[in-house]
Amino acid sequence: MDVSMDKIVTLCKTRGFIFPGSDIYGGLANSWDYGPLGVELKNNIKQAWWKKFVTSRLDMVGIDAALIMNPKVWEASGHIATFSDPLVECKQCHERYRADQIDLSKSCQKCGNKGTFTEPAAFNMMLRTWLGPKQDASAEVYLRPETAQAMFVDFNHVLLTSRKRIPFGIAQCGRVFRNEITPGNFIFRQREFDLMEFEYFVHPSEWEKHFEYWLKQMHEWMEECGFDKSKIHELEVSPEDRAHYSKRTVDIEFDYPFGRKELYGLAYRTDFDLMKHAEKSGEKLDYTDPETKEKYVPHVVEPAFGVDRTLLVTLLSAYHEEEVEGETRVVLRLPKHLAPIKLAVLPLSKKDELSSVAEPLAKQLAKRWRTDYDETQSIGKRYRRQDEIGTPFCVTVDFETLEDKAVTVRERDSMKQARVPLAELEDYLSKQLGC
């Protein structure tokens, strides 16, 4: 279904997925803090990605590099020269905008003045700081705007220690920083966000085959995340819009409530980065085929996935409203492996004889699955609360439990209930949850 951003933002705030950052001080320029449910959902996304693209494959290894790299990295990669967006300023009120995101023939959104913008100028998006006690140009460093560069800079170390042969990939997942001119649309465009990406090193003659393969894998990933397929589109990025390092880029776009915009990117980075780093550092960054003895600089295909956009599209796709017994039920139909809470143990009422069974049961289940325990409010309200945060199963302990040593397990999407003996409960849930 189509859901408004207001509904998602409100759900995130009221249920503990995502709060405005530094809220008690009035916030800070579109920064967001992930709360108790948000952090679980985010971790589940990262783990599912790492499992699919790294640990379940023989041709992929991971790294976790420093966020601050030698500034020469960014000179070589071209980020200092070209990682910029076009900036315009209203001559009247000095409000700044991204030139490609507003209609320059219209009035300034802030002061209403028309036709008063400066000419677009390149605004570098890297965040700068100083390392160590000096605060001068010699100590100037950048917070990384992408994780990719460490995969190129560490290429020789990884190749030597992992003993991988081409084709193979190096993956990384971590925080990146971009001084966006206009952050916004909730977590869609932020100044710090998490990125999951890998550099897949291939023989130069084979990049097209690998490009097609990874594009299909990206679609498979989106299906596993439960994304609304009808809202996913591919965009062949034109040469003038491609990043400086790319010879082909396909953007995966999504129809967000605020319009069709980028979700992920797949780029053919050629040998651009390895060549530039070899040139600047003086270190050879090439590969010798152990069988043919052919020596070459590998080419790179790079799928890049924003974690926060993944989370946003997961929520947008999972959100459903439906009529149940004359009332509106909000349900997050999250894929089970992504759901922040897997189980809720709910004693039918707040009575000691029920709690004495339900609480130890919840503690036992929590050893295997993220489990919530809730004994206040009516059972109907508690079911609705769990539906709203996407909990796949509720386990209800009632007075019959004391007699028949069984509990009621309610499934989120169908709302069907099954009576399951306590002795078989873990096996039953393990089958249902698939983990």
Residue pair 289/202 in contact by the 8 Å Cβ criterion? no
Q: What are the CA-CA distances from residue 110 to residues 97, 106, 114, 206, 354 (Å)?
A: 11, 12, 11, 51, 59
Smallest separation (angstroms) from ligand GAP to the CB of 42: 13
State both tokens at 94: 């000095």
- Based on the shown chain and the rule CB under 6 A, indicate whether residue 392 belongs to the binding site for ligand GAP: no
- Based on the shown chain and the rule CB under 6 A, indicate whether residue 308 belongs to the binding site for ligand GAP: yes
| Binding-site size, ligand GAP (CB under 6 A) | 18
Question: How far, rounded to the nearest angstrom, does the alpha carbon of residue 95 sit from its chain's CA centroid?
Answer: 31
40 or 308, CB closer to ligand GAP?
Answer: 308
Q: What is the rounded distance in angstroms from the CA atom of residue 361 to the CA atom of residue 355?
A: 9
Quick note: the x/- pattern for ligand GAP over 187-216, rule CB under 6 A, is: --xx--x-x-x-------------------
CB atoms within 10 A of CB 99: 18
State both tokens at 6: 């207001």
Please list the residues that pair with 306 across neighbouring strands. Answer: 195
For ligand GAP, which residue has the nearest CB?
306
Measure the CA angle with vertex 38, ends 36 and 42; round to 5°.
Answer: 125
196 or 354, CB closer to ligand GAP?
Answer: 196
Q: Where are the alpha helices (DSSP H) in 205-351?
A: 207-224, 272-281, 307-318
144 or 410, CB closer to ligand GAP?
Answer: 144
- Based on the shown chain and the rule CB under 6 A, indicate whether residue 253 belongs to the binding site for ligand GAP: no
One DSSP character per residue, 7-49 reads: HHHHHHHHHTSEEETTGGGT--TT-EEE-HHHHHHHHHHHHHH
- Figure out which of the listed residues 226, 306, 347, 390 binds ligand GAP, where binding follows CB under 6 A: 306
- Figure out which of the listed residues 85, 146, 271, 273 binds ligand GAP, where binding follows CB under 6 A: 146
Q: Which stretch binds ligand GAP (CB under 6 A): 220-228, 298-306, 320-328, 405-413?
A: 298-306
Q: What is the rounded distance in angstroms from the CA atom of residue 435 to the CA atom of residue 430?
A: 5
State both tokens at 168: 């193979």
Judge residue 415's burial from the number of C-beta atoms within 10 Å of its C-beta, 0-12 exposed, 13-18 middle, 19 or more buried: middle
149 or 371, CB closer to ligand GAP?
Answer: 149
190 or 371, CB closer to ligand GAP?
Answer: 190
- Based on the shown chain and the rule CB under 6 A, indicate whether residue 180 belongs to the binding site for ligand GAP: yes
Smallest separation (angstroms) from ligand GAP to the CB of 250: 11
Smallest separation (angstroms) from ligand GAP to the CB of 160: 24
Quick note: the x/- pattern for ligand GAP over 95-134, rule CB under 6 A, is: ----------------------------------------
234 or 321, CB closer to ligand GAP?
Answer: 234
- Figure out which of the listed residues 304, 357, 406, 425 binds ligand GAP, where binding follows CB under 6 A: 304
Nearest CA among 217, 268, 229 for reference residue 56: 217
- Based on the shown chain and the rule CB under 6 A, indicate whether residue 169 belongs to the binding site for ligand GAP: no
- Based on the shown chain and the rule CB under 6 A, indicate whether residue 299 belongs to the binding site for ligand GAP: no
Question: How far, rounded to the nearest angstrom, does the alpha carbon of residue 64 sit from its chain's CA centroid?
Answer: 17
Question: How far, rounded to the nearest angstrom, does the alpha carbon of residue 30 sit from its chain's CA centroid?
Answer: 17
Q: What is the rounded distance in angstroms from the CA atom of residue 290 to the CA atom of residue 307?
A: 37
Quick note: the x/- pattern for ligand GAP over 258-277, rule CB under 6 A, is: ----xxxx------------
Q: What are the CA-CA distances from residue 285 to residues 165, 169, 203, 277, 279 (Å)?
A: 14, 15, 14, 8, 9
- Based on the shown chain and the rule CB under 6 A, indicate whether residue 385 belongs to the binding site for ligand GAP: no
Interface with ligand GAP (CB under 6 A): 146, 148, 178, 180, 189-190, 193, 195, 197, 262-265, 302, 304, 306, 308-309
